[in-house]
Amino acid sequence: MLMAEQFALELRSVSRSFGAIHALRDVSFSIRAGEVMALMGENGAGKSTAVRIMSGFDTGYNGEVLRNGTVVRFRSPADAERQGVAIAQQELSQVATLSIAENIFLGNSRQPTWSTISAMAARARPFLQLVGLGDLDPCASIANLSVGERHLVEVARLMSREPDVLILDEPTAALGQAESRRILSMVKRLAAEQGKAIIYVSHRLDEIFEIADFVTVLRDGHSHPRTPIASLTVDMLVERMLGRPLENMYPDRRAAQAGAPVLEVENFWPDGLDGPVTLSVRRGEILGLAGQLGSGVSTLLAAIAGVSPRRTGSVKIDGRDATATSAHDAKRKRIAYCSSDRKHDGLFLGLSVSANLTAPALSKISRLGWTFGSLERRTSQEIARAMTIDERRTGSEVGTLSGGNQQKVALGKWMSIGPRLLLIDEPTRGVDVGARAEIYRRLRGLADDGIGIVIASTDLQEIAHLPDAVATFYRGSHIDTFALEGDQTARILKDITHPHGRTPEQTHATQ
């Protein structure tokens, strides 16, 4: 008699409800040792709930969780770790004032109750080598590391618990191209050389097709059977996630309208860049700023928005001076700025969608501290329709929305001031493929309406296919600006990683 196949981790007919909302319905999921399993789905499909159950954060489910063929019920994340299942979450659980080694062993029951720093460092080195950070000094402060390195240290911390199953939840969402490569290399190595079962949650399709062996898709709380990634195309996977084919991710580019530029940035030198930048955007165009983390693109956007200081330079919109000296001054000049960290800088998570959508125009819908409720509702519903946000959710707290809908609110709130310029840092970070397409269409529509739009993105596909023109940056220097005719992905990648084999100074000398 054949024995049933044994998986490192398995969900069998798992369901989870929150009141009348069914987050998961009869979901099944399985992964073997040495596999990389991609867990995919739109925002709100049930991925977060499934991950919370598998990692011990959520215990109120129906159905079965199995470890190596044995039914288990994790009582907490610590219990899951003791039984060999560990999760690296998007939000890093690190103490900035401690060393790398101290962070690796923080809260580890396997760590001796007392230990010298040198002894702890010696124990930390093998785990750092495991994640490709063998050259780091374990005694150094973790605060000195890049975001990508800190994510790798987080995985090293988990590996010190000796898990068999590792769950990585959007590990590259906040990382640039180079740091993402380090994460992907580590994932391949841990699966192939260490035999770890790795559950990889991501919206980045290129990553999934590069590292995953199998994929499980969740849609509306239901699961599709595990499928070999080699048997799928991008279009097939997207259709499985959305329940419909996605005909065009990126809207067609338009020919720039004749006349003076809608935006002119002249000799603009923010603190943090190596020199001044001159850029322009014609009516109907979207300009992209391409660069890795630390390249200066975020600094440039923030300075144009009056949030970060500048040394010299000016900004003109429709030929008139619009150089902002503060965030308040920028709003007065109808410059809208969406930072890359929408949860901390762009949204009031505890307030309603309606309150968030009308926050920039509060002076128009209130008097003496009293808000005109009917005017707020009418304004917010108009914006919600334009941004394809469910109007029935305008009374809900923004913190309860999916990542895609939160980003739509972060963008949509600026429509209440009638912006002349829209600056967006990482427009689709953490956003699923369906919501991305909707955001791209809306941005193209705003550009067609004459609003100047500048986006900064570390997503190479996004920056190569959405804008009409791109300005490339490398380590604080403006390398080049060119129209995006055809596929310019390779040219952009070369500019932002090693610009034409030239130094930035040599590049500027030819411009």
Domains located in the chain, CATH noted: 9-242 (3.40.50.300), 249-334+419-511 (3.40.50.300), 351-416 (no CATH)
Q: With 0-12 CB in 10 A as exposed, 13-18 as middle and 19+ as buried, what is 436? A: buried
**pLDDT score, position 109:** 59
Instruction: Determine the Cα–Cα distance for residues 38 and 11; give it in Å rounded to an integer.
Output: 15
* Helical spans, DSSP H, in 160-306: 177-194, 205-211, 234-242, 297-304
**pLDDT score, position 79:** 96
Q: Is the dihedral of CA 33, 38, 41, 42 positive or negative?
A: positive
In the chain, % of residues over pLDDT 70? 92
Residue range 270-301, pLDDT digits in tens: 998 999 999 999 988 999 999 987 889 999 99
pLDDT band at 511 (very low <50, low <70, confident <90, very high): very low
* Helical spans, DSSP H, in 115-233: 117-130, 147-159, 177-194, 205-211
Phi, psi of 164 (to 5 degrees): -95, -30
Residue range 96-155, pLDDT digits in tens: 899 999 999 987 756 655 567 888 899 999 999 988 889 999 999 999 888 778 888 988
- Residue 222 has what DSSP assignment? E
**pLDDT score, position 507:** 43
What global pTM score does this model have?
0.75
CA atoms within 13 A on the CB side of 484: 27
Question: Among 166, 206, 169, 216, which residue's Cα sits nearest to residue 189?
Answer: 166
**pLDDT score, position 373:** 61
| 45 within 8 A of 27, measured Cβ to Cβ | no
Residue range 224-239, pLDDT digits in tens: 999 999 999 988 998 9
Find the mean pLDDT for residues 444-451: 91
Q: Mean pLDDT score of the chain, rounded to an integer?
A: 87
Question: Among 137, 130, 135, which residue's Cα sits nearest to residue 100?
Answer: 137
Q: Which run of H or of E encompasses 509?
A: helix 504-509
Instruction: Determine the Cα–Cα distance for residues 413 and 417; give it in Å rounded to an integer.
Output: 8
Residue range 468-488, pLDDT digits in tens: 999 999 989 999 999 998 888
